[in-house]
Amino acid sequence: MDMPSPSSEDVRWIARCLELARAAAAADEVPVGAVVVIDGAAVGEGRNCVEQRRSPLAHAELEALQQALAAVGEKRLPQATLYCTLEPCFLCAGAILHSRVRRVVFGARDPKFGAVRSLATLLEDVRLNHRCEVVEGVGAEASAELLRTFFRGKRRS
C-alpha cells in the first residue's frame, strides 16, 4: 500500500510528539508522545504514563484523544489528525477507529505491537463509511533512537 507523503505540518507536530516522548522517558515511561490537531491547532496531547498511573490504558494516543474529545465537546474527531512517535498498538488503533480520526501520522514502526497496517487494511474495506489516511516514517529515526536508548538503559538495570 502506498503511503502519502508528509507535509511540513506533519514534521512540525511530530517534533512536538518527540518532546512529549522525551518527557515520558525522563519519567521512566516508554517514550511515546502524541498530539491531536484540528485546523492547525493542538486540541489534545499525551505521553505514555502507564507506570505513573498504574494503568495499562494510559497510552499517549489515548491520553491525547481523550483531551481532544473533551476540548471539542464531541464524541468523534472527523477533522482531526493524530500524530504519534510510535505506530499505534491495537488498543489505540481501536480508539482511533471509533473516534473517526481523519489522519494518523507516526514516526517509528512497532514490529511487535503495531496495528496501523491492520487499521489501514480494515479502513480500505468498502463496507465501512470511515476512511483514515495513514502517513508513516515522519521523524522515524529520532523516534526509534529514543526507544532504543530507553530500552538499552532498561536492559542494563
Q: What is the tens place of the pLDDT at every residue in 80-134?
A: 999 999 999 988 988 998 899 999 999 999 888 888 766 656 556 655 656 788 8
pLDDT for 1: 45
Q: Could you tell me the pLDDT band of residue 51, with boundaries at 50, 70 and 90?
A: very high
Reported pTM:
0.90
Q: Choosing from 61, 63, 87, 136, which is the catalytic residue?
A: 61
Backbone angles phi, psi at 49, to 5 degrees: -145, 40
Asked if residue 52 has pLDDT above 90, the reply is yes
Q: Which residue has the cell 542494563?
A: 156
Q: Is 136 a catalytic residue?
A: no
Q: What percent of the chain has pLDDT over 90?
A: 68
Spatial CA neighbour of 48 closest among 36, 57, 60: 60
Mean pLDDT, residues 27-44: 97
Mean pLDDT of the chain: 89
Q: Order of strands, edge to edge, in the sheet holding 41-47?
A: 41-47, 33-38, 81-86, 103-108, 133-136
Whole-number percent of the chain with pLDDT over 70: 87
* pLDDT given at position 22: 98
Which pLDDT does position 98 carry in this prediction? Answer: 87
